[in-house]
Structure 1
């Protein structure tokens, strides 16, 4: 039988991350209802959430709920910098850190009692450091499984610490609404509610096969296990991101010139390419995601011959994908552009092409990164990228294009 010390998995989750960074950096926004993003809410402060505003609600609907709402444009470089600072504190707390997004992670603090105290004492110190050193609130859950630690941090929000001691797990879990189960979204919740199932205890009371018949094999087995707190997964370190991306909400659908769209694309590519180089990653597949005025979405992908982190190579491939969609954009309007780079590899393990007979673009990228690291992201731009733009003729793609 496991001892009380087995409750040593911490789930740490920054509260309303993007909005909190904005309130930290702009004192006049503190205590006020704000959202990050205009056309679509990317993040909402707790003051805004009190009005029923949530992500990814449309900006118009959010303003209808809260006329005094303040909309703030996203600053992804600031969020990335804050995330790096917080994750540095995580790794100074324990080497066993599993990041699952830019603003949350699992930490295994088993075996640290003699040098750092109990899991609760470690969590208290972690929260103090994030507050004082980074200026952000973070909620923490402590439990014996990853699933329950995540549930505990969510129940403890905002700015809370909640521990679920070994032996009390089901007493804590079973009274909760079914939406607290990892993987229960609106559609699954609707199916459960239609059968009068609203609490985790009611899911736990069902036979496994009954859940399978109701939700399908994968979801049935998954929810049956979680309702009994069966989650054997350890905290996994060393996991690398499978892709890196960024997106920009454009507000309401209206006519936009090719130059405006290209400027947005350049900003997104510049941001993602810089992140790739900062993490020593290169990728082979670029993905363009668009949301049109009627809220339909598409994604288009393209694979280049060699893995790269070069801004211009990634940009030209994405320009080709965007150019192909210009006729539809002109007809239906566009409200969001997103990009990502996938099929990532470690740049140190890849033989990168040498700049024979041409410009050493990697050195240029490195020089631009150094200037921005020292003087800020707006300190230098790339005139050559803007000058080329989205031409009337489709850009030549370096390799085959794939639609998805």
Structure 2
């Protein structure tokens, strides 16, 4: 267990809020080490082996060489050529869920912000559990004992400072920043450490001679809003003083669900593009049904070989949660946009394609289908509710036997015994 690093003693008067930010250390790497302990202490990069792959996570031994998450894998290999590349697996969400369950055993005021981090409002636990430092240490101990995974945490009176404290406590530590020591904690930090301050903003601030939070605090609100706009200037002014009124939101309202795919090579292959679109559409359908949601519209993202990126809406004639129906709607819209025509033409090489479901309705509110349900692709008649029923059965089978329990034929690779079989979904899709 790491060292607790209090920034001063806790004041006699308890703060209005006590917020903990828990962040799992090198989460993807450490989950992989559970089944490959022989790699412990090695320079490890978790990423798919592909020309266009990005780093999902890196061990601290690899980070010493400058390897970071979201960095192109090719660049990571240049920085750390002898790193061991580990292909990612699908068990991360299982461990993430177990971590969140441990946090929710404390309180229902848990806001999960990613697969490996969460905010916890410890204020309601103070009377029941007492000292929040002891509570945080107990949580980290339990995660270590039950899951064999390390976690770092920060505690303060605001979400922003708690997150900064957890980052400063890594790896495997705890940092407590009491309200009366917040400014002492923030002032030495580079302005680039402030939430929402990116490289361009850092450069602009540096040009004004502003390099640290303490220097930023020397400028009043009028100056900052005049030079950075009302929203950005106010944001800078507040963060430099540790002001962050955001509450811990225990349930986030999911406003969209998306999936995207980057091709290993820029693709002019209509069958390959259709196959990935079909796969993504089925994934979106499954996630919509799992949440009892139906999408009223879709958003499409297309990136070409020259990195030109188009984002286009795809309104739906009726709300839907069927992957098959989503696939048909996507094909129809891409044909209109001349990205992928129905006669299998791809005028420009595609680098990335994405589909996002938006404007949700709840299935429990009832389903109103369009008269006769015209097929969005072929002009024939189809019933989205029939596809909903069929795909719901697939959900049940896959839930019991895994994704290999049942797979659409169109997603199966061509076999030696059937070399002429198409590589992707045909006009009908299934």
TM-score, scaled to structure 2: 0.80
Structure 1 residue aligned with 2:269:
257
2:142 is paired with a residue of what secondary structure?
helix
The structure with the largest helix share of the pair is: 1
Kept in 1: contact 2:45–2:55 (CA 8 A): no
Where does the alignment leave 5 or more consecutive residues of structure 2 unmatched? 1-10, 374-381, 413-421
Q: 2:219 aligns with which of 206, 231, 235?
A: 206
Kept in 2: contact 1:245–1:272 (CA 8 A): yes
Q: 1:49 aligns with which of 42, 51, 63?
A: 63
Kept in 2: contact 1:372–1:380 (CA 8 A): yes
1:179 is paired with a residue of what secondary structure?
helix
Q: 2:74 aligns with which of 60, 63, 78?
A: 60
Cα drift, residue 206 of structure 1: 0.9
Distance 2:75 2:176 in 1: 37
1:346 equivalent to 2:362? Answer yes
Structure 2 residue aligned with 1:284:
296
Cα drift, residue 236 of structure 1: 2.3
1:85 equivalent to 2:111? Answer no
Kept in 1: contact 2:278–2:425 (CA 8 A): no
Distance 1:278 1:239 in 2: 16
- 1:31-46 alignment runs, 5 A limit: 31-37=42-48, 38=50, 39-46=52-59
Distance 2:88 2:331 in 1: 23
Q: 1:170 aligns with which of 166, 169, 183?
A: 183
Cα drift, residue 179 of structure 1: 1.2
Cα RMSD of the aligned pairs, angstroms, is: 3.2
Distance 1:78 1:168 in 2: 40
- 1:211-290 alignment runs, 5 A limit: 211-251=224-264, 253-290=265-302
Kept in 1: contact 2:293–2:360 (CA 8 A): yes
Cα drift, residue 185 of structure 1: 0.6
State the structure with more CA Rg: 2
Cα drift, residue 121 of structure 1: 2.0
Distance 2:225 2:280 in 1: 42
Residue range with higher mean Cα deviation, 282-291 or 347-356:
347-356
Kept in 2: contact 1:17–1:43 (CA 8 A): no
1:168 is paired with a residue of what secondary structure?
helix
Residue range with higher mean Cα deviation, 184-193 or 258-267:
258-267
Distance 1:96 1:122 in 2: 15
Distance 1:134 1:330 in 2: 48
TM-score, scaled to structure 1: 0.85
Cα drift, residue 108 of structure 1: 0.8
1:8 equivalent to 2:18? Answer yes
Kept in 2: contact 1:290–1:338 (CA 8 A): yes
Q: 1:383 aligns with which of 394, 405, 409?
A: 409
Distance 1:220 1:2 in 2: 34
Distance 1:58 1:305 in 2: 39
1:338 is paired with a residue of what secondary structure?
strand
1:124 is paired with a residue of what secondary structure?
helix
Where does the alignment leave 5 or more consecutive residues of structure 1 unmatched? 397-404
1:182 is paired with a residue of what secondary structure?
coil
Cα drift, residue 48 of structure 1: 3.3
Distance 1:175 1:303 in 2: 50
Distance 1:282 1:17 in 2: 32
2:105 is paired with a residue of what secondary structure?
helix
Deviations 1:83-122 (A, max 9, x none): 3333222222211122333332221111312333322222
Structure 1 residue aligned with 2:127:
114
Kept in 2: contact 1:40–1:56 (CA 8 A): no
> Matched residue pairs, number?
391
Kept in 2: contact 1:40–1:59 (CA 8 A): yes
Structure 2 residue aligned with 1:402:
none
Cα drift, residue 65 of structure 1: 1.7
Cα drift, residue 9 of structure 1: 0.7
- Cα distance 1:23–1:261, how it changes in 2: closer, same or farther (>3 A)? farther
